[in-house]
Structure 1
Amino acid sequence: RAVRHQEYFAAFFCGIARLLACAMGCLQSIACKPRIRRENIVVYEVSASIDQCPTVIEENSPIVLRYKTPYFRASAGVVMPPVPRNETWVVGWIQACTQMEFYNTYGDIGMSSWELPELREGRVKAISDSDGVSYPWYGNTTETVTLTGPTSKPSRLTVSMNDNFYPSVTWAVPISNSNTPMLTHITRDQSFITWLVAMNTVTKERIVLQTVRWRMRVDIAVDPEMPLGSRASLVGRPCQEQPHILNYQEPIPPNALGRPNANDAQVLMWRPRRGLHLLLYHPKSMKV
């Protein structure tokens, strides 16, 4: 009987040992599961620039003046470490508008103004500048690359984006039924932050890899009494200040990541020299 007890306890302790070994193996497996971290990601050949050419003014239409600004361009190479099984990472550009002044002056009558109310009133620090579909990304063509695990070796990729303004401004006062040209000045000053980001699509973990700040300014003088084709001219500096690639990473404000984007959040105001201000264009984000 003593021998049987010894055999029983030996078998019992062997079973416990196997369970402990199995548990330790599982813990070790969890602890050793590869995880993508900022220090494992290599960013190289980062570039950000604005084309060194002046804004082009178009006076082809008797209804509107159009102008086309030079392009802001950003590009970067990224080497991502192997992506674990059941994980998907997107690397790309996220952009937000942080400041906007856009005034179209009609002599001493007043001015129209495109505005971002939440930004103007200081309720938010930034508004998403996504294409309105690919939130939070600026776009979904050259702007992003998607990596789905498992991948067995590092992935080398390139992401790029570009941005510019190409608006129309009415020659006549926007609230008038007259087609008489009255536009005398256009002023635009807009600032942006652009982030290069790696994001886990499941956990939404975001790793900011690079931060760029840039600004676009337009200053156009208009003589409405001149014939069409010779009314408008650029004033001020002909070329834009070049972007700043920061040597530190700025956090991404919540409003830079989701709806509405800047196009859908903007309103058009009429601000007369005398009288009440009028809202001419409601933000798309408020429309039913």
Structure 2
Amino acid sequence: GTWKTADCKDNEGHPSCTPCKEGQEYTEEKNYLDYCRRCDFCDEEHGLEVEKNCTRTQNTKCRCKANFFCNGSSCDLCEPCITCEHGIIEKCTPTSNTKCKGKESGSNLPWLLCLLVIPIILAIIWVISKSLHKNKEELEEYLKTILKTNFPRLFYFSDVDLSKYITSIAELMTLNQVKEFVRKNGMKEPKMDEIKNNHPQDTAEQKVQLLRNWYQHHGKKGAYDALIKSLPKDIAEKVQDMVQKDITSNDENADFKSENERQS
């Protein structure tokens, strides 16, 4: 519950210590630190509540609020329990989400549809190209437009500049997901602690800074690929949709500008 303010004055002496601020700072063991650790903040907006208040000798202990859960050993954020549409197998607990009865779904159906529809679309394009006598350049552009419109999932962008998407990506991820991702991709604990201490009560900004710092050190090449492969499927699809729509919009604007320049 104290921190060192001055070193020992003789060999048999003890250092001078000052108590930490009650309810704001703490140290849990004997130490030679020249500062107290900052008490954790239980963020109610992220499903947390105080289980034990912070004291000079013990950090704040947080827990999940009712109808929230966290399945990790250290929880900085609790997620809301899901509601089941087709019945419950196991109820939600503070450490596990609700387990729902599933409804049989044809997970392979989208790919089967693709296999059936793509040849039809290509055949239509071939007929149109023959009838309209499109040149090669126009045909390729037409094919690209059709496929982008109907099958955006088939398009993959290997080296996207992620800097403009960092904030939006952070909003899709939980703090635990961001920490796990940057940790697996080389970020050291001291840097993660530094970012946490710089924004102690702002988990949203912590997520942004963690992702931004990872991206700055990783660089553009391969960053999008590393991110998509590490994300849960539902979040990865949302990120792909966001990037796809943005790039498609930019391409359309560029095509419109090019067309205007040709006509002028």
Instruction: Give the alignment's TM-score, normalised by structure 1.
Output: 0.22
| Bigger Rg over Cα | 1
Structure number with the bigger relative contact order (C-alpha 8 A, sep ≥ 6) is 1
More strand by share: 1
